[in-house]
Amino acid sequence: MIVCAACNHRNPSDALVCEACGGSLEHFVYRACPSCGALNPAENVFCHRCFDDLVPGSAETIVEASDIPVESFVPSEPSVTDREEAVREAAAPTVGERPTSDLTLEADAEVATTAEVVSEETEPGPLAEPQQLVGEPIERLEAAPSEPEAPMQPSELIPEAEEDVLEGLEGLVPIAAAATQAHAFALPVPPSVSETEQHDAELFHSIASERGPLRDAARVVIPRRARLLSRRGRALLYLLVLLAALTPVFTGDRTSLLLRPRDSVTSLARDIQSLPTGSAVLISFDYGPAYAGEVDPLALAVGRHLAASQVRVVAMSTDPGGVGLAEHLYRTIAGEMPDYRYGESYAILGYLPGPEAGLRTLCTSLGKAFKVDYVQRRTLSELPVMKDLTSVQDFDQVIVFADDSRSVRSWIEQVQSQCNFSLHALVTAAIEPMLLPYQQSGQLSTLIAAAHSAGEYEKASGMEEPSLHWTDAYGAFCLVLLVTAIATNVAYLRTRARQRSHGQ
């Protein structure tokens, strides 16, 4: 395969001109890098891959014709350094021992060309400028004798025509000095790459950079009318959702008064109400700030109810973000109730890592799981609220607020199945369907979606109802969702029916 230097088109190995641009492929010469084996054009001074110097020992770096399956392999324009090296070899007494491939023969011919130039210069300093040498045509190369030749005198091989080309060009361009200097880059040399690997890499590059038919097929032209409709529809949907969120401004919470708490919410409120004074409840805040907007109102409502019932509360979290949220909530509750003090009425144990091993330790010892509490950094035995509470089984109820179904599953699998206690899961609406089987099997005493339950819980527990204003917004949003679903489905069915009728 010959890559055209002008257009990068890959031509068959026997091509003389590029199939794509028509350019000549006559001067297709590669030079193998001595360090990494990459093939470089003959005029390159440094390897395109590893930046290694290609100049020293250039006689060895030129790839022999037998290594590359290119019949039209015409060496041409070897660099000045190559020629100088070749001249030195030609002048040496061991010239006759060199291999006798076509390329070396060609090099010998070139040696003869440059021998005179070098012989004229007695000083080894700056080399002569690059000289235009005409490469041998392929017919002449093939016709060249293949047996080893006797050492030749350089003067015997100097063509008359080429002497004129070199005349008067010495010292005009100091490129040879730059070519002989070591390159500044000192990049690590990659492992040697075989020619097959090099070819595979080039093939992969060409395939990867080609524009495939898939990319063209994926380009879908959407009509302007449909684009506008989509944009307007999206804007309308945003507006409706915004209006739904602002519904309480217009309704003044009047419709919220019609709210009736669901059975599960009423059941949880009744369970907490029935707890005697001094009972203990463990609450795990297993949600992060991203879902705090949904879960916080319900957590606040339950926390206020527990505080009003004078129940001891111990809070913890298996989510790093949940600890700060728990502290914020209980600071709010403590601000509303002066008798509700940290360490006596409630405590925040902190973050418990490890969904399996960490939670499993709660069955044996709270002290092993938490060395100190989160707020005052005291040992658990120093906190009055922790009196007689050594493991999770000592709590009357366990409530988990979660935004991830795996968290609740870990509680069920690692703690509840080992210790057997009453577990309530108050979760985001998004994960509630995933946990329904656990409620139906009786493993979860309560499963409540937090989104719209705060107002219901406040109503069921007979407390103040600051979260009630959320209810109107949820009602309006559900209405928007329903209308949108019906409208889009009707539009879809009509479009499909129209397309079918057109098709017929």
Indicate whether 477 belongs to the interface with other proteins (CB under 8 A): yes
Q: Do residues 21 and 7 lie in contact, with contact meaning Cβ atoms separated by under 8 Å?
A: yes
* Residue 22 region by backbone torsions, left for phi larger than 0, else alpha for psi between -120 and 50, else beta: left
Q: Which two tokens stand for residue 160?
A: 């008359």
* Residue 442 region by backbone torsions, left for phi larger than 0, else alpha for psi between -120 and 50, else beta: left
DSSP for residue 257: G
Burial of 303 per CB tally in 10 Å (0-12, 13-18, 19+): buried
Interacting residue with other proteins among 11, 79, 407, 428 (CB under 8 A): 428
Residues 366-405 that bind other proteins (CB under 8 A): 370-372, 374
Instruction: Select from 76-84, 134-142, 182-190, 346-354 the region that touches other proteins (CB under 8 A).
Output: 346-354
Indicate whether 353 belongs to the interface with other proteins (CB under 8 A): yes
Strands (E), 93-243: none
Interacting residue with other proteins among 39, 112, 292, 435 (CB under 8 A): 292
Interacting residue with other proteins among 397, 452, 456, 461 (CB under 8 A): 452
Shorter beta-carbon distance to other proteins: residue 28 or 474: 474
Interacting residue with other proteins among 135, 261, 350, 475 (CB under 8 A): 350
User: Distance between CA atoms of 405 and 428, rounded to whole angstroms?
Assistant: 9
Triad 246, 251, 255: Cα angle to 5°: 115
User: Distance between CA atoms of 430 and 446, rounded to whole angstroms?
Assistant: 16
Shorter beta-carbon distance to other proteins: residue 58 or 428: 428
Closest CB 403 distance from other proteins, rounded Å: 9
User: Distance between CA atoms of 239 and 477, rounded to whole angstroms?
Assistant: 11
Indicate whether 423 belongs to the interface with other proteins (CB under 8 A): no
Q: Do residues 141 and 164 lie in contact, with contact meaning Cβ atoms separated by under 8 Å?
A: no
Closest CB 218 distance from other proteins, rounded Å: 22
Q: Do residues 405 and 432 lie in contact, with contact meaning Cβ atoms separated by under 8 Å?
A: no
User: Distance between CA atoms of 103 and 142, rounded to whole angstroms?
Assistant: 10
Q: Do residues 307 and 330 lie in contact, with contact meaning Cβ atoms separated by under 8 Å?
A: no
Shorter beta-carbon distance to other proteins: residue 262 or 409: 409
Interacting residue with other proteins among 147, 216, 263, 356 (CB under 8 A): 356
Closest CB 470 distance from other proteins, rounded Å: 6
Q: Which DSSP string do the residues of 405-454 spell out, in sequence order?
A: HHHHHHIIIIIIHHH---EEEEE-TTTHHHHHHHHHTTS-SEEEESTTHH
Residues 87-146 that bind other proteins (CB under 8 A): none
Indicate whether 323 belongs to the interface with other proteins (CB under 8 A): yes
Interacting residue with other proteins among 437, 492, 496, 498 (CB under 8 A): 437
Q: Do residues 454 and 256 lie in contact, with contact meaning Cβ atoms separated by under 8 Å?
A: no
Indicate whether 287 belongs to the interface with other proteins (CB under 8 A): no
Shorter beta-carbon distance to other proteins: residue 88 or 409: 409
Q: Which two tokens stand for residue 238?
A: 């945003």
Interacting residue with other proteins among 412, 419, 422, 463 (CB under 8 A): 412
Rounded to the nearest 10°, the torsion over CA 487, 489, 490, 496 is: 140
Indicate whether 442 belongs to the interface with other proteins (CB under 8 A): yes
Number of residues interacting with other proteins: please give it, by CB under 8 A. Answer: 66
Indicate whether 285 belongs to the interface with other proteins (CB under 8 A): no
Interacting residue with other proteins among 170, 418, 422, 463 (CB under 8 A): 418
CA-wise closest residue to 12 among 21, 20, 1: 1
The contact pattern for other proteins, residues 243-282, with x = CB under 8 A and - = no contact, is -xxx-xx---------------------------------
Indicate whether 363 belongs to the interface with other proteins (CB under 8 A): no
Indicate whether 451 belongs to the interface with other proteins (CB under 8 A): yes
User: Distance between CA atoms of 251 and 203, rounded to whole angstroms?
Assistant: 68
Closest CB 345 distance from other proteins, rounded Å: 19
User: Distance between CA atoms of 151 and 146, rounded to whole angstroms?
Assistant: 14
Summarize as ranges the residues that interact with other proteins (CB under 8 A). 238, 241-242, 244-246, 248-249, 288-294, 296-297, 300, 320-321, 323-324, 332, 336, 350-351, 353-354, 356-357, 360, 370-372, 374, 409-410, 412-414, 416-418, 428-430, 432-433, 437, 440-443, 449-452, 464, 466, 469-470, 473-474, 477-478, 481
